[in-house]
Structure 1
Amino acid sequence: MTTSNEPISFQIDCESLRDLLTQPKPPRLIDCREADELAVCAIEGAQHCPLSTWMAHWEQWFTNQSDHVVIFCHHGVRSMRATAFLRDKGFSNVQSLDGGIDAWATVIDHSMKRY
């Protein structure tokens, strides 16, 4: 999260997210993939909020517009849609993980199963 009034970038790369996750107040991780994808692999600590049920639940899942939230999916397409949706609703500290969980497995966690 930035300290100025300028919005944070729309996307975050894997290395930057890894570094933020070690901070005292890490961003909230949101996995917007479907349950069958979640069964293959997951990032520890992420909350599962499937994009297919987003419209019915987003107001329950996201209540604090100041929270730093990082959303991810498989390659980053769905998480970009989810990020754009929340930003349109006034959540300026929301980012999409560039390359999704596939990039995370490639760059950060080489033991993670890929699909």
Structure 2
Amino acid sequence: MVEEAKATHPQLSVKEAKELIAKEKKLVIVDVREADELAKGKVAGSVHIPRGLLEPRIAGKAPDLSQPILLYCGTGARSALAGEQLKKMGYTNVKNITEGYGGWAKEEKK
């Protein structure tokens, strides 16, 4: 199920995600983790919309269906599923951090 979801939109490494964040000024970075996971840290500039609330809340952060959106969760699985759902909703520029926040945090420690 997750692998099928990943095939619906681009999967970025942490390095690629950082490059995208640096160059794309209109990018909306969405953290789909649950509230209790936020204590582990977050990607700077991200907005928190838990996976279960993504569909009703995303339009408030990205009203334009062509808005560039970068998703992440803890491991990249939930955010891949979230990305698949956003594509079904008509969003055309959705990307996912494959390693999730876990990979991001490891990269930050280097």
Q: Which residue of 2 aligns with 1:18?
A: 18
- Over 3 Å counting, the alpha-carbon distance change for 1:28 and 1:56 in structure 2 is closer
Q: What secondary structure sits across from 1:74 in the alignment?
A: coil
The secondary structure found in structure 2 opposite 1:22 is: helix
CA offset at residue 61 of structure 1?
3.7
Instruction: Give the Å deviation of 1:43.
Output: 1.1
Identity %: 26
RMSD between superposed Cα atoms in Å: 2.0
- Which one has a bigger Cα radius of gyration? 1
Contact 2:33 2:50 in 1 (8 A): yes
Output the CA distance in 1 between the equivalents of 2:54 and 2:9.
22
1:32 maps onto 2:39 in alignment: no
Which moved further from structure 2: 9-18 or 63-72? Answer: 9-18
Structure 1 stretches of 4+ with a deviation exceeding 4 A read: none
Task: Identify which range, 53-62 or 37-46, moves more after superposition.
Answer: 53-62
1:69 aligns with 2:69: yes
Name the CA distance, whole Å, in 1 between partners of 2:61 and 2:28: 11
Verify the 8 A CA contact 1:73 1:100 in the aligned structure 2: yes
Q: How does 1:43-58 map to 2 (within 5 A)?
A: 43-58=43-58
Give the TM-score taking structure 2 as reference length: 0.82
SS of the equivalent of 2:42 reads coil
CA gap of 1:33–1:66, structure 2 versus 1, over 3 A, is same
Aligned to 2:104: 104
Give the partner amino acid of 1:110.
Answer: K
Q: Which one has the bigger helix percentage?
A: 2
- Could you tell me which runs of 5 or more consecutive residues in structure 1 were left unpaired when the two chains were aligned: 1-7
Distance 1:60 1:40, change over 3 A: same
TM-score, scaled relative to structure 1? 0.79
Q: Structure 2: which amino acid aligns with 1:69?
A: I
Instruction: Tell which deviates more after alignment, 28-37 or 9-18.
Output: 9-18
CA contact (8 A) 1:33 1:49 kept: yes
Count of paired positions: 103
